[in-house]
Chains A and B, each alone.
Chain A
Amino acid sequence: MSRALAVTAGLALASAAAADEAAVRRMFQAKLGAEARIESVLRLPRSGLFEIVVRGADGPRVFYADERASVIVVGQIIDSATGRNLTEERLQRLNAVKWDSLPFESAVTTTRGSGRRKIAVFSDPNCPYCKRFEKDLATLDDITVHIFLYPVIKPESVAQTKSVWCSRDRAKAWNDLMLRDIEPTAPPDCETPIEKLVALGRRLGANSTPTWFLESGARYQGAVPLEEVRRLLDAASSKGRK
């Protein structure tokens, strides 16, 4: 009897929370306008806040609001007990891709050693930080580097990346360009996947380069310091394996 009561009470609580989430969603939608795509509304435990995920053209955004949506927080939430940045972790998951869904047949791939650790990079030859990042990656062993040619930074990047794709040895042509500043020489007139890659990158919200993904599906931006990259690669590849 008392058990049945407890279950009922639990259900009542759960449906109250769901009702609150629906209410927050309605209020938030009204504030954002009808065309905004609200992906989810979740009550955060302990904080009295709701998390609202909005999916825009350039990827997901996370907001927080009280139960009346009378204040909206645009910022990051830190768990004060553990110091973890909950917002960043959430965005990381929201931005994740399915690794196996990436079109590796359209990548320029370099493998060193066992190739155990895997990374996929959207890269432009006229992005200085892409060059720095790839120079760092070139020092790592046991790695597979998939480059998705992503000529979005300068107009001349298009011809350069096409020439790389049309080279007999694509990996050599690309690495010569990025690591040694040797321009590719093949005429850029073969069939290439580059337009498709640019469309894919835009769909994934890669509005800057380098944007990169690990086997876990997690997405990162920028020339992150080598030590950090090494740590992330090891963590993602041990998780991805199993």
Chain B
Amino acid sequence: MALALLAAASAAIAQGELLEPEKAFRISARALDGKSIEVEFRIADGYYLYRDRFSFATESGGTLAEVEIPRGTVRQDPFFGKSETFRRLVRIRVSLSRNDAVKGTLNIKVTSQGCADAKVCYAPLEQWVKVKLPGGKSR
């Protein structure tokens, strides 16, 4: 009985609900120092993010140009051609402009895009992260 129940439950999960994109791609961010931050995505098992689909912007709408995205895994997709992707975890370093760095607290809009293996691709996902910058180091 218990076994049958377990089997039913895991079957339900296996075929079951896709994760909402916010859960498949969990975002967090922290300050590295007074003028740069690190954005981290924890990517659920069976999901991946495309390297060339990230973008970062500040509240005022400015883009953050200095973004260091590590190299991903090159994936030869039978339908999509060559693409670089991340699984499990990716950490992205974003350098702030002087203007942004003095603000103390910064809201950043992060756009990302990914897919679930063999199932779906998500529309671009916009998430806001709030980062507190260490005070006094802004010069």
Binding site for B on A (CB under 8 A): 58, 76, 78, 80, 83, 85, 88, 91, 124, 126-132, 152-153, 207-211, 221-223
Contact = CB atoms under 8 A, between A and B. Distances in A.
Contacts of B1: 80
Contacts of A91: 17
Contacts, number: 77
A68 B26 CA distance: 30
Nearest to B113: A153
Nearest to A201: B123
Interface stretch (B30-38, B56-64, B114-122, B127-135): B114-122
B17 A208 contact: no
B121 A208 contact: yes
Interface in B55-79: 77-79
B21 A207 contact: yes
A211 B116 CA distance: 13
A83 B119 CA distance: 24
A222 B123 contact: no
Given A88-B17, A207-B21, A221-B18, A78 B9 contact: yes
B3 to A, nearest CB: 12
B91 to A, nearest CB: 25
A132 B21 CA distance: 21
A239 B13 CA distance: 27
B115 A129 contact: yes
B120 A209 contact: yes
A208 B123 contact: yes
Given A78-B5, A78-B9, A129 B16 contact: no
Nearest to B116: A222
B116 to A, nearest CB: 7
Contacts of A130: 121
Contacts of A76: 9, 12-13, 16-17
